[in-house]
Chain A
Amino acid sequence: MSDHELRGDELRGEVKIEELTKAFGEVVAVDGIDLHMPPGEFFTMLGPSGCGKTTTLRMIAGFERPTSGRILLDGVDVAHVPPHKRNVNTVFQSYALFPHLDVAGNVAFGLKYRRLSKDESKTRVADALELVQLGGFARRKPGQLSGGQQQRVALARALVLTPRVLLLDEPLGALDARLRKGLQVELKTLQAELGITFVFVTHDQEEALTMSDRVAVMNGGRVEQAGSPREVYEEPSTEFVADFLGVSNLLSGTAATDGNGNCALKVGERTFRAMQGAVSTRGEAKAMIRPERIVVEQHDTPGDNRLPGLVERAVFLGNSFELHVRVVGGDVLKAFMPNDGTAMPAAEGAAVTLHLPAEALRVLAPSPAPSEHAPEQTAEPVVSSD
């Protein structure tokens, strides 16, 4: 093993999860998921609490034994290897720094099992602390550090062992917003520098989008969609993904072909052309559009894919306005208007026309059918949208 510097072997650190299931008694926390985490990538599991992301992470770490399925670490199935024999390390949500040891003692904890000389392990502890910019803190106790500093110690303690994969369980969850932003950037930079595979768990969609190379959106123990941040945001394949990743507007209607290979979605009296997503869907279907893609126009502007409405609320967000527009048929659509000084901010009660461009309107595939592993589990968990 190349244990001499704080740098993972760039060719390794690949995690493949196959048909992984974890049941706690009657409750299926992880329901036969497949995931591929390529070496050297920043991989994020994103989802609401109870979606199985943390259980999956704990199975990769070795704290939970899978009910069935395989966890391949660089091609070797480690599903039933105890945690102290896996070359993966974890940064815990609450850091779990040993309170009876000082910072250096914490960082040096795992080096005992690496058969290093005293000098060597001293050097590596110092290097690791430098890496997380805590050079002068070696003799402090964890209780004397701020939340952000504790987080860095936890990071150093794991990275000093040059793991092939670093697991991070909502490591920024306990920090205030400002500190979070700073550490998000730092973590991402660190990951890119070290080339270690990071497997990150969060329920914060913004965090997931800004940091990751790849995001797996999870819900009810299943993976709804995995892909690059842009893919999952701009091309959500299910309603859940569309809704969980930011604000989205949904239109329900009947899908038919428009004769040009696109979808014509009939919503009430009106028909909208949709060019994105599962355009070959027929019958009952849903389409989504992001609020920032809706164009707010003067009332009675003519054209396709337009519908009139009344502004119910106009929320000032600083750089933009969020308009809640009640359209004909009774639905409320949300639209963002940039605060660029040109557009007339629509006041509450004003009549406007919303343009839903066909190239921004996305037909959603129905949510995946319940798995064959748990056929009795027909009721999908209730998803709270924001």
Chain B
Amino acid sequence: MRAWLRNPWGQPRALVVVTGGYILWSLVPVVIAIMFAFNAGRSRTTWQGFSFRWFTGPVGVFHDPALQGALKHTLFLAVICVAVATPLGVTLALGLQRWRGHGAGTVNTVMLLPLVTPEIVMGVALLLLFLKVFPGLGLGTVPQAIGQVTFTLSYVVVIVRGRLVSIGREYEEAAADLGAPPHDQILRVVLPLLAPAIIASAAVVFALSIDDFVVTQYLAGGASTTTVSMLLYATARGAPTPALNAIATVALVITLATLSLAFFVYKRFAGGGDAAVAAAMEI
């Protein structure tokens, strides 16, 4: 065994074993959860045969109004969040890249704070904000959207800035040199070059929004503003059926599909090689 592990010329087997072990450990629960979404019986622990009943049956995801409502609300929030956070984040990234001198460093740090702030702190803070400072708004969809935009914005800024740094200022200078006024330098050169990063960050925002629980839960305003993750949390403690696994599976598929799309787009059009972005996409 030791001799087999110590293999200086071939692939580093010890590392392969550790990596493989981790992947197995992290995937097995997910695979089991998905598997039981297709269970023919009501059990979430005993396999009773394969069926689509928890998806298409009378009490399945596609018919249960509570599950359906949660899915719709989740997707609605995600779309709003992408539509607001992406353009705002791109603008901020461009602004921060151009901002030199006093205050630039501070703003930079502040932009990254949401990435390291525990989400629970953020959730509580936002809740207080909406209860005490803007009580007129109430709780519900609007605060949920604002809350999600608040923390997903940083991801957009990080991804887009990474790309901005790697493309540098020279293309803008070339555009200016050829006669393009400042807004055309952005529209005709910078934005097309940023497109992969913008699409990737939109997908990351979408996935983050779908997965978010803490902030969304704090700012929820009743049954109509329940998201999939909230529903999962609530029913997991009640009387769960494989319908729960089914909805989790749907959420997972949507998230994975979005992230794969983002990864593909970025790889395809940015030529890869952007460590910062790759790291951000892993989050």
Contact = CB atoms under 8 A, between A and B. Distances in A.
> Are A and B genuine complex partners?
yes
Contacts of B180: 84, 109-110, 112-113
Given A89-B178, A100-B193, A83 B173 contact: yes
Interface in A124-176: 157-158, 161
Contacts of A98: 171, 174-175, 189, 192-193
Interface in B157-177: 170-171, 173-177
A112 B188 CA distance: 11
Interface string A74-91: 000000001111001110
Nearest to B192: A100
B156 to A, nearest CB: 21
A96 B189 CA distance: 11
Contacts of A113: 178-180
Contacts of A109: 175, 178, 180, 188
Interface in B181-195: 181-182, 185, 188-189, 192-193, 195
A114 B189 CA distance: 18
Contacts of B173: 61, 63, 83, 90, 92, 96
A320 interface: no
A94 B170 contact: yes
A90 B172 CA distance: 13
A99 interface: yes
Contacts, number: 64
B179 A84 contact: yes
A173 to B, nearest CB: 14
A61 B171 CA distance: 14
Contacts of A61: 173, 177
A8 interface: no
A83 B177 contact: yes
A62 interface: yes
Contacts of B193: 98-100
A92 B179 contact: no
A109 B192 CA distance: 14
A99 B190 CA distance: 11
A90 B170 contact: no
A112 B180 CA distance: 9
A82 B176 contact: yes
Contacts of A97: 174
A97 B177 CA distance: 12
Given A98-B189, A100-B193, A109-B188, A84 B171 contact: no
B192 A110 contact: no
A23 B258 CA distance: 49
A62 B177 CA distance: 8
A90 B171 CA distance: 12
Contacts of B175: 84, 98, 109
Chain B CB count within 10 A is highest, among A83, A92, A157, for A83
Given A98-B171, A100-B192, A100-B193, A161 B178 contact: yes
A155 to B, nearest CB: 13
Contacts of A158: 177-178
Nearest to B269: A100
B174 A90 contact: yes
B198 to A, nearest CB: 13
Interface in B29-49: none
B45 to A, nearest CB: 53
Contact of A110 (B170, B171, B178): B178
B178 A157 contact: yes
Contact of A161 (B176, B179, B182, B185): B179
Contacts of A100: 192-193, 195
19 contacts: A61-B173, A61-B177, A63-B173, A63-B176, A63-B177, A84-B181, A84-B185, A85-B179, A89-B178, A90-B173, A92-B174, A96-B173, A97-B174, A100-B195, A109-B180, A112-B179, A113-B180, A114-B179, A161-B179
- Give 5 nearest A-B pairs by CB, closest first: A110-B178, A113-B179, A96-B174, A83-B176, A96-B170
Interface of B: 170-171, 173-182, 185, 188-189, 192-193, 195
Given A84-B175, A98-B175, A112-B180, 19 more contacts: A82-B176, A83-B173, A83-B176, A88-B177, A90-B173, A90-B174, A92-B174, A96-B173, A96-B174, A98-B171, A98-B174, A98-B192, A98-B193, A99-B193, A100-B192, A114-B179, A157-B178, A158-B178, A161-B179
